[in-house]
Structure 1
Amino acid sequence: PTASTGFRRGSQVLPVLAAVLAVGAVVAGYVFYGLAGGATYADAAAARDRGDCTAAIPGYGLVSGMYELTLSGNVPRAEAERAECVAFVAASDAEAGGDFAGAVALNQEFRLAHPDTTLAPYVDDNVRRTYESWGTSLRSSGEYDEAVRVYRDLLVEIGDGPEADGVRGELAATLVEQADALRTQLPGLTGPALVDAIRDSTENLLTVQREFAETPAAAGVAQAIVDTYAAARTQTGCDALPLLDYAVGLPDAETAGVVGTANADRVRAQFDCGVARYQAGQWAESGTAFDQVQADYPNDPLVAQARANGIAAEVSEVTGSPQPLPGPYAGDNPGSIPLTLYNDNPAEVRVLIAGPTAHEVVLPGCPGCPAEYPSSVGACPSLDGKPSFRLTLPAGGYTVIGQYPSADPSVQSNLVESGFEYTNCLFVTPIPGQ
Structure 2
Amino acid sequence: MAAGLLDLSGLGLGHVLLRQWIGAVVCWAATVALLLTALPAEPEGVPTGVLVAYGAFLLLACADAARRARRVPLPSWASARRALVVPVALVLLAVPVGGAFAYGAARDEAKEQRLLDLLASADRLVKESQGQSFTSVESTYRTALTAYQQLGTEHAGSRAGKLVPDRLRAYYKAVSAPYEKKDHCQAVPALTHLRALPDTVDRALLGDLVGKADEPLAESWFECGTRTAGSAGQEATAGEHLNALLDTFPQSPYAQKIEPTLRETLRTHDRSTGAAPCDTATELRRFDTTVDLLPSATFGKLAKDTERAIQRGDFACGLDHFKKKEFTEAVSAMNDYVKAYPSSPQTPQARNVAIAAEIAAESPAAGARVPSAATSDGSGQVMVVSNDGPGEVELLYTGPVTGRITLPACAGCKTYPAVLPVGGKNKPCSGPSSTYPKRTLTLPPGTYHFLQKRDGTGTSSAVRKASKDTIESGYSYTNCLYVTTLFQ
TM-score for the superposition, normalised by structure 2: 0.62
* Post-superposition CA distance 1:168-211 (Å, at most 9, x none): 5542322224457x57xx9xxxxxxx834974884465343465
Partner of 1:413: 468
Partner of 2:81: 15
Q: In 2, distance between residues paired with 1:109 and 1:385?
A: 95
Residues 1:249 and 1:391: Cα distance change in structure 2 (over 3 Å): farther
* Post-superposition CA distance 1:12-64 (Å, at most 9, x none): 9983444555556556xx39x96xxxxxxxxxxxxxxxxxxxxxxxxxxxxxx
Partner of 2:415: 371
Letter in 1 for 2:450: V
Larger Rg: 2
SS at match of 1:142: coil
The counterpart of 1:175, out of the listed 221, 226, 229, is: 221
Partner of 1:7: none
Equivalent pair of 2:359/2:466 in contact (CA under 8 Å): no
Equivalent pair of 2:330/2:354 in contact (CA under 8 Å): yes
Q: Equivalences for 1:191-270 in 2 at 5 Å?
A: 195-196=231-232, 199=235, 202-203=238-239, 205-209=241-245, 211-214=247-250, 216=252, 217-233=254-270, 234=272, 235-252=275-292, 254=294, 255=299, 257-270=301-314
Partner of 1:8: none
Letter in 2 for 1:15: R
Letter in 2 for 1:391: L
Q: In 1, distance between residues paired with 2:169 and 2:355?
A: 68
Partner of 1:426: 481
Q: In 2, distance between residues paired with 1:123 and 1:365?
A: 93
Query: Is residue 316 from structure 1 mapped to residue 360 from structure 2 by the alignment?
Result: yes
Q: In 2, distance between residues paired with 1:420 and 1:383?
A: 19
Q: Equivalences for 1:78-89 in 2 at 5 Å?
A: 78=108, 81-87=111-117, 89=119
Equivalent pair of 2:390/2:413 in contact (CA under 8 Å): yes
Q: Equivalences for 1:266-415 in 2 at 5 Å?
A: 266-323=310-367, 324-330=369-375, 332-372=376-416, 375=420, 377-405=427-455, 406-415=461-470
Residues 1:224 and 1:134: Cα distance change in structure 2 (over 3 Å): farther
Partner of 2:199: 159
Partner of 1:105: 143
**Following TM superposition, by how much is the alpha carbon of 1:349 offset from its aligned partner in structure 2, in angstroms?**
0.2
Equivalent pair of 1:294/1:307 in contact (CA under 8 Å): yes
**Following TM superposition, by how much is the alpha carbon of 1:99 offset from its aligned partner in structure 2, in angstroms?**
6.9
Q: In 2, distance between residues paired with 1:327 and 1:148?
A: 51
Residues 1:82 and 1:243: Cα distance change in structure 2 (over 3 Å): same
Equivalent pair of 1:343/1:363 in contact (CA under 8 Å): yes
Partner of 1:41: none
Query: Is residue 90 from structure 1 mapped to residue 120 from structure 2 by the alignment?
Result: yes
Equivalent pair of 1:337/1:420 in contact (CA under 8 Å): yes
> Bigger shift: 69-78 or 292-301?
69-78
**Following TM superposition, by how much is the alpha carbon of 1:304 offset from its aligned partner in structure 2, in angstroms?**
1.0
* Post-superposition CA distance 1:271-318 (Å, at most 9, x none): 333333333333222222322321332222111111111111111221
Letter in 1 for 2:220: T
**Following TM superposition, by how much is the alpha carbon of 1:144 offset from its aligned partner in structure 2, in angstroms?**
3.6
Question: Cα RMSD between the aligned structures?
Answer: 4.3
Partner of 2:180: 140
Equivalent pair of 1:178/1:201 in contact (CA under 8 Å): no
Query: Any gaps of 5 or more consecutive residues in structure 2?
Result: 1-76, 131-136, 204-208, 421-425, 456-460
Equivalent pair of 1:222/1:256 in contact (CA under 8 Å): no
Q: In 2, distance between residues paired with 1:307 and 1:79?
A: 88
> Bigger shift: 163-172 or 337-346?
163-172
Letter in 2 for 1:328: A
Q: In 2, distance between residues paired with 1:18 and 1:160?
A: 64
Equivalent pair of 2:352/2:403 in contact (CA under 8 Å): yes
Residues 1:412 and 1:197: Cα distance change in structure 2 (over 3 Å): closer
Residues 1:380 and 1:160: Cα distance change in structure 2 (over 3 Å): farther
Residues 1:240 and 1:214: Cα distance change in structure 2 (over 3 Å): closer
Residues 1:389 and 1:165: Cα distance change in structure 2 (over 3 Å): farther
Residues 1:364 and 1:127: Cα distance change in structure 2 (over 3 Å): farther
**Following TM superposition, by how much is the alpha carbon of 1:426 offset from its aligned partner in structure 2, in angstroms?**
1.3
SS at match of 2:384: strand
